[in-house]
Homo-oligomer: A and B are copies of this chain.
C-alpha cells in the first residue's frame, strides 16, 4: 500500500503526541517544543478525535498512554526518527565542507584575512577556504559558496545574487617620496596601470587624465600594483578601504585629487539556497565591514 497523505491526521498533532509519549506529560512536551501545554493538550485531543481512539488517559498529575496510544507512539517515534536522521545526515555532511570564497588578492589581504580571527572566534566549527584569483571566476560551476566582488554602479552578474557589503571611494596613492609635498602636476608622474583593461582606463579618464599621453608603468599583474606604488615607482589608484592601513602607517600617501567615484563591494552567491555556514560568513562579513566603514 502506497503512502496516502490524505489519510494522515495533522502532522502537528502527531508531533505533539509523539513527544508527549516519550516525555510522559504534556507540560514536558510543551517545554521542548517551545509552546504552552495548552497547545499540546489541544493537539492530542484533536488527534484522538480524528482517530476516534483514546490515546492518553489523564492519570492524576501526568498522562498514561492507552494500549493503542503506545503502539501508535512507537510508529511515530520510528518514523519521525528516520526523517530526522535524513535531515541530520544532510546537515552533517555540509558541516565538514569549508565555506569556499573566491575573491581578489587585495580584498582578501586587506579586508578578510586581518579580521578572520574574529570570525573563527564566533564560529569555531566553520571551516573557511579563501581562493584569491586575478579575475572573476565562475563560482557556480566551480562550486564556490560565494565571491566578494567590487563594481561601479549596479551589479550585473547573470545567474548570481549580489548583496551589497560596503561602498568605498576610489583614490590615488603613491609613496611619500613621490607624492610628498606636491599639490598638482600628477599627470606628469608615472601611473601604474594595465593598458587595454577597460576598467583601469576608464578610471584614469574619470580622474581627468589622458591615457594616451600618460607615462605608464604596466606590470601586468594587478596584485603587484600597490607593491610597486609603495616602492615609489609610480602612482596607483585603489579603493580607499584597501589602502587604509598603509595610509595610516605612512607607507602610502593619498594624492590630493578628488575621488571620481566609489565602488561597491558585494557578496555574490549563486541563485538558489545558501548553505547556513556561508550565510553565517556573509552576515559576519557584512557586520565587520559596516564596523570598519563607520570607523573611517
Distance of A80 Cα from B48 Cα, bound (Å):
19
For A6, list chain B residues within 8 Å (CB).
32-34
Choose one: B7, B81, B83, B279; the contact of A88 (CB below 8 Å): B7
Q: Is the interface of A mostly helix, strand, loop or mixed?
A: helix
Stretch in A12-20, A197-205, A242-250 with 4+ CB within 8 Å of B:
A12-20
- Nearest B residue (CB) for A278: B52
Choose one: B75, B91, B278; the contact of A85 (CB below 8 Å): B75
For A38, list chain B residues within 8 Å (CB).
none
Count A-side interface residues using an 8 Å CB cutoff: 55
Tell me whether A64 is interfacial, beta carbon within 8 Å: no
For A272, list chain B residues within 8 Å (CB).
48, 54
- List residues of A (208-262) whose CB comes within 8 Å of B's CBs: none
Are A49 and B5 in touch, CB under 8 angstroms? no
Are A83 and B75 in touch, CB under 8 angstroms? yes
Shortest Cβ distance from A279 into chain B, in angstroms? 7
Choose one: B32, B51, B89; the contact of A5 (CB below 8 Å): B32
Tell me whether A76 is interfacial, beta carbon within 8 Å: yes
Number of copies: 2
A4-48: CB near B (< 8 Å → 1, else 0) gives: 111111011011001100100000000011100000000001001
For A8, list chain B residues within 8 Å (CB).
80, 83-84, 87
Distance of A270 Cα from B22 Cα, bound (Å):
27
Distance of A224 Cα from B7 Cα, bound (Å):
48
Stretch in A66-74, A119-127, A171-179, A182-190 with 4+ CB within 8 Å of B:
A66-74
Tell me whether A77 is interfacial, beta carbon within 8 Å: yes
Tell me whether A137 is interfacial, beta carbon within 8 Å: no
Tell me whether A113 is interfacial, beta carbon within 8 Å: no
For A90, list chain B residues within 8 Å (CB).
51, 53, 68, 71-72
For A51, list chain B residues within 8 Å (CB).
87, 90-91, 273
Pairs across A and B, CB under 8 Å, 14 listed: A3-B77, A5-B19, A11-B11, A14-B87, A48-B272, A49-B274, A52-B275, A53-B94, A71-B90, A72-B87, A75-B82, A75-B83, A79-B86, A82-B82
Distance of A101 Cα from B32 Cα, bound (Å):
42
